[in-house]
Amino acid sequence: MEIKTTVTVIGGGANGLFTTLDLALREIDVILVERGDIGSGTSGKFHGLLHSGARYAVNDPESAMECIQENKIISTIAPHAVKDTGGLFLGITKEDLEFSDPFMKSLEKVGIDHKVLDLKEVMQKEPYVNRNAKIAIWVPDKVVLGYDLLASVSITASLHKAKIMTYNEVVEFVKENNSIRGVKVIDRINNETNFIKSDIVINAAGPWAFKIVKMAGIEEIPILPTAGIMVVFDKRLNNSVLNRLRPPSDGDIIVPYSDSSILGTTATIVEDIDNFTISEEDINMLIDEGSYLIPYLKNLKPVRAYASVRPLMKTSESGREASRDFTIIDHEKDGVSGLISIIGGKFTTARLVGERVSDLVSNKLGNKSHSKTSKTRLISPLDIDLLSYAEKIGLPKVLIMNALGRKGSLDEERYNTSLYLLLSLISRAKKHEI
């Protein structure tokens, strides 16, 4: 099958989805291709923190400024996917206390609200927090329900005529001399080959971005694939996001995510991004560090651990020191036109990435449109009339009826998950136009 569009986006993570939404809202024809399901890369395996930017205020102020701006925007456009828990930076050791002065000065400079809290009140609200904490500083950290946000971006984009094709893996570029003219994809469900012809291709493949540029004959991009591990406890131990008052390090954040607490994380540069392990040693090290924040962690057995890879910009040889900011590369500079790569960023700043990439694309296309994503309320899967939506996209109604049947049942909590799985079938639907 051959399909024509204006822009092809590779990768259904946070960056690719927000780019697709931004372009669709500008009425630019766009198709997103993802080799797995939406959020099957790093965006489905992150820590769940909608950063206030406080963590980066001292060492990475540019990224901190982007985080606080986006923290406010995401909370406004997708309130259903955000839990306003607040965050605490806890100073426990002498070194932590020495960090409080530069920390608060940097928060001031970047423009992040903060407040030193009364420790007695903190201990009442957070009974598991280390009683030896000497200072607690509140910042506007929040929790973001990752899959809810990604599903909402996908639905809103497809309602604005974007096509989202999951289980379609890019295996080659369509090239004319030194110009990229589209991609060859394999539909992994039907084992069919499709060609998507377009004027511009966006490489939003996250940590796999370097593999994509290689297909275009570009040897290197400045990316530092850095793995991080998270450990999950089957108990909500804290109400606010807890952070250690020190420069970013291992095991210094605990995120309250639904009924669980997620402790993270590490930052190890990996050679093979599809093949790395989580060792018992890593888990124990994280628990040792995390128990400075919540000593009770040592009495608990984690229920699971997971890991993923950050597609960091290579601004340093160390994963901890590399900036959390992002960069957009127009490969015309490498002698290949029609290809743009996104490197870096955070889940929190993906909307901004989409805006900046779409500005560049619009400029190249001679389109004078502006980004609308900061003011467009995202549609939650729970907000739409699923039956008529199914009909519009050619999805069998019986599938939606089955999912809806779980509402009000013993397994209502699983209802959302089944809905999301169902929505991933959108790409398998006969019609894409709505």
Ligand X SMILES: Cc1cc2nc3c(=O)[nH]c(=O)nc-3n(C[C@H](O)[C@H](O)[C@H](O)COP(=O)(O)OP(=O)(O)OC[C@H]3O[C@@H](n4cnc5c(N)ncnc54)[C@H](O)[C@@H]3O)c2cc1C
- Binding interface with ligand X (CB under 6 A): 10-16, 33-36, 40-43, 46-49, 51, 169-170, 204-208, 228, 230, 264-265, 308-311, 345-348
Compare residues 264 and 290 and give the one whose CB is closer to ligand X.
264
Which has the closest alpha carbon to 348: 60, 124, 26, 133? 60
Report long-range pairs for 188-195 (Cβ below 8 Å, ≥24 apart). 188/35, 189/428, 192/1, 194/1, 194/2, 194/3, 194/168, 195/1, 195/2, 195/3
Report the interhelical angle of 397-404 vs 386-393 (nearest 10°).
160
Classified as helix, coil or strand, 384 is: coil
CB of 301 to ligand X, least distance (A): 21
Compare residues 173 and 389 and give the one whose CB is closer to ligand X.
173
CB of 387 to ligand X, least distance (A): 29
CB of 161 to ligand X, least distance (A): 21
- Identify the bridge partners of residue 165 per DSSP, sorted by sequence position: 33
Structure tokens at 176: 């004319």
Question: What is the C-alpha to C-alpha distance for residues 341 and 93, in angstroms, rounded to an integer?
Answer: 42
Compare residues 224 and 403 and give the one whose CB is closer to ligand X.
224
Question: What is the C-alpha to C-alpha distance for residues 61 and 417, in angstroms, rounded to an integer?
Answer: 36
CB of 180 to ligand X, least distance (A): 14
Compare residues 253 and 403 and give the one whose CB is closer to ligand X.
253
Structure tokens at 82: 């955000």
Helices (H) and strands (E) in the chain, counts: 11, 22
Question: What is the C-alpha to C-alpha distance for residues 268 and 228, in angstroms, rounded to an integer?
Answer: 7
Residue partners of 351: CB distance under 8 A and separation at least 6: 18, 22, 70, 73, 74, 77, 373, 374
Residue that is written with structure tokens 């109604």 in the block: 397
Compare residues 268 and 418 and give the one whose CB is closer to ligand X.
268
Backbone φ, ψ for residue 215 (5° rounding):
-60, -25
Does residue 394 come out as left (phi exceeding 0), alpha (psi in the -120 to 50 range) or beta? left
CB of 297 to ligand X, least distance (A): 18
CB of 124 to ligand X, least distance (A): 27
CB of 144 to ligand X, least distance (A): 7
Neighbours of 101 (CB within 10 A): 9
CB of 206 to ligand X, least distance (A): 2
Compare residues 341 and 380 and give the one whose CB is closer to ligand X.
341
Compare residues 12 and 86 and give the one whose CB is closer to ligand X.
12
Compare residues 41 and 91 and give the one whose CB is closer to ligand X.
41
